[in-house]
Amino acid sequence: MREYYMNTERQGEAVAAAVRIFGEHGSFIRSMIRLRVCDVSRREDVFQELFLRLVDRPVSSDVRNIRGYLYRMIVHDAVDVVREQENEYHHLKKYAERNRISIYNHASRNAISEEAQEKASAFTCLIRQLRRREAQVMTLRYRDNYSIPEIAAEMGIDRRSVSRYLTSGLRELRRLLAVE
């Protein structure tokens, strides 16, 4: 019986430590999850899983960079989410083939390096949260490497408008990522 109370006490301490970490770094955690997990429906799951993992295995006292530690945990969770999605897609594809249903086939993910794919995914996830014109300007500028005059010519707008869209888009991205 005494062992049960000691374990309950340790669990209480672990929960308190996780609550403290989320209190101190909550906005950072949410920003990184928003950046790494594009599927909006799964973000809250990743957030809760991270909390439960911190309760189950509290952060060691020798960890010096708590944000770096949290970042790695979030990246690993995001990779797990992508794997789950790919598994679901694989099962859906098998089901469709078995029942002769046509589904849209995506290009092979092996064709692109993992790092480039990760960056492209993060960029797409962030851009989706901007207004249409801002997203279009940001895509042409940072993904397609257009200059401001080229963007203006492509979109049929003034250079100053392009600059305003870039400024407002970057401001919104900073707000979304909680970068100050």
What's the pLDDT band for 164 if we cut at 50, 70, 90?
A: very high
Residue 176: how many other CB atoms lie within 10 Å: 16
Q: What is the pLDDT of residue 34?
A: 85
Same domain, 84 and 123: no
- Please answer whether residues 56 and 14 qualify as being in contact, where contact means their C-beta atoms are separated by less than 8 angstroms: yes
CATH of the domain at 131: 1.10.10.10
What's the pLDDT band for 160 if we cut at 50, 70, 90?
A: very high
Cα gap 63→102, rounded to integer Å:
50
Q: What is the pLDDT of residue 102?
A: 54
Residue 104 has pLDDT above 90, yes or no: no
Residue 109 lies in a domain: no
* Average of per-residue pLDDT across 93-117: 61
Domain with 79, as residue range(s), is 2-98
Residue 62 has pLDDT above 50, yes or no: yes
- Please answer whether residues 78 and 29 qualify as being in contact, where contact means their C-beta atoms are separated by less than 8 angstroms: no
